[in-house]
Amino acid sequence: MSAAEIQPLAVTDADRAKAEEASEPSVVSIKNEANKLFAAKHFEEAIEKYTLAISYNPKIAAYYANRAFAYIKQELYAAAIADATDAINIDPTYVKGYYRRAVGNMALGKLKEAIKDLRAVCKASPQDRDARTKLSQCEKELKRIEFEKAINFEENKVSALERIGNVDDIIVEESYDGPRLPESGITLEFVKDLLEYMKAQKQLHRKYALKIMIQVKELLEKLPPIVDVTIPEDAKITVCGDIHGQFYDLLNIFELNGLPSPTNMYLWNGDFVDRGSFSVECILTLFSFKLLYPNAVYLSRGNHETDDMNRTYGFEGEVKAKYSNLTFRLFSEIFNALPIGNIIQSKILVVHGGLFSRDDVTIDDLRKIDRFRQPGGDGLMFELLWSDPQPQFGRAPSKRGAGVQFGPDVTEKFLELNNLDLLIRSHEVKAGGYEVAHGGKCITIFSAPNYCDSGDNLGAYIHITPDCKLKYHQFAAVPHPPVGPMKYAMMGGFM
């Protein structure tokens, strides 16, 4: 929400006092309340308090900069950039405004804009070591991207598989003590051994990782963009949201809910990788189970199964550190083959983000999408991966800076048009791991508890039975090895 969108009250001296100091000693100021909420990681409530402070006095740059920081914590980067810009407009010398705007632009991959603001910060505060570090990182990353664009044009014409060659020729060293993929194909014993091996922070041999990737690529490429899922009478399906490289929480889901099987089906709704520093382990686990039970394990692409996100938020760096750049290129091609949605029992649409900027979109339109590409910056696939629900009717620009925000009327029209009962999506952290919105027609599910080791949120998953009954299960985070989130990220963690 920008300053122009807020309809402020007439600002009086009493209002200013209430916003800054509070009129009574026993009443904590609105600003201080917001700061305490922020410190307690209650970012949504902090945003509401900062907004209230702004309504009393819309001429204080710090209110906008503080709200921008809260938006950054909520990954609402477009809103953060707008607030930081308002802070700068109010006070062009306010350094935090430039810094917050730079962080928002870094998160959106707008490095040139970030560099401009970071240079302003460094000029005003030459001793700011953090700003100087971020400026150096941004400049190096921009040069790297421009260099890779120059050299990769011809390379990208050749598939990763062609460049990898014959995987059977890769030698497995005698010193390797991990699981070995049987020549006859994947087995449950192999997958169980793999989970234990990776749990001990050991790395599956490159030969077997590539074999799994090649096989799952072939399997996924045969699937349609929207997959129809049927639950057998003696089975249930568990829908999980974002796991974001939190491998030990993924293992905990299996501990709580059982391993996948023909009667214990799973649907993983995107954002398997990035942020968490065990993304390779997560994706190899899901790919292995997909190969083992192709009709009981389903995957949907998320907005983080894309090159831009993987470059910024860690998966590319992690794959290069654990395997190679060529392995990452193969992952990128596999992500392009992931289905972009699933329909359960012909009644429940499951996609990662949400709905669209127009009302006439049909499931047939989605089935015609050419998904074998990066999603770009607009269109149905882009909106499906990025959009978020809002409580207000109608549509609004996304506070993320990508996709749209859609209201309960939009959800109702879409479901009615397509003879569906329910939309399940992920893409957003929720304190309880899930949220029921739009009159029960739009469900958000998020399965990464204590997100990025700083969220204090629960994770959740949903059981769905053949008669489309839903049951929610919440769970807390479990300990993991001392490897923090964003270890492999472009900026080493800029939030």
What are the start-end ranges of the E strands in 110-202?
none
Question: What gap in Å lies between CA 321 and CA 215, rounded to an integer?
Answer: 23
Residue that wins the pLDDT comparison between 20 and 158? 158
Query: How far apart are alpha carbons 244 and 7 in whole angstroms?
Result: 38
Secondary structure element (H or E) that encloses residue 330, with its range: helix 325-337
Question: 345 pLDDT exceeds 60?
Answer: yes
- Among candidate residues 244, 304, 427, 438, the one labeled active-site is 304
* Per-residue model confidence as pLDDT tens digits over 146-187: 877 776 655 566 888 888 989 999 999 999 999 999 999 999
- Reported as a pLDDT band with limits 50, 70 and 90, residue 228 is very high
Q: Where is pLDDT greater, at 174 or 42? A: 174
- Is pLDDT at 493 greater than 60 in this prediction? no
Active site residue 427: no
pLDDT in tens, 381-406: 999 999 999 999 999 999 998 999 99
What span, in angstroms and rounded, lies between the C-alpha atoms of 244 and 241?
9
Q: What is the pLDDT of residue 18?
A: 57
Q: What pLDDT is recorded for position 53?
A: 87
Condensed to tens digits (0 to 9), the pLDDT of residues 76-99 reads 999 999 999 999 999 999 999 999
> What mean pLDDT is predicted for residues 19-31?
51
Collapse the DSSP code of 1 into the 3-class scheme (helix H, G, I; strand E, B; otherwise coil) and give the result: coil
pLDDT at 9: 40
Give the DSSP H or E segment for 204. Answer: none
- Which one, of 163, 142, 215, 201, lies nearest residue 328 by Cα? 163
Q: Into which CATH architecture does domain 162-475 fall?
A: 4-Layer Sandwich (3.60)
* pLDDT confidence of residue 56: 82
Residues of the chain with CATH 3.60.21.10: 162-475
Strands, DSSP E only, in 219-268? Answer: 226-229, 236-240, 264-268
Give the architecture (CATH level 2) of 13-148: Alpha Horseshoe (1.25)
Which residues 6+ apart lie within 8 Å of 165 measured at CB? none
Q: What is the mean pLDDT of residues 263-284?
A: 97
The mean per-residue pLDDT over the stretch 258-264 comes to 98
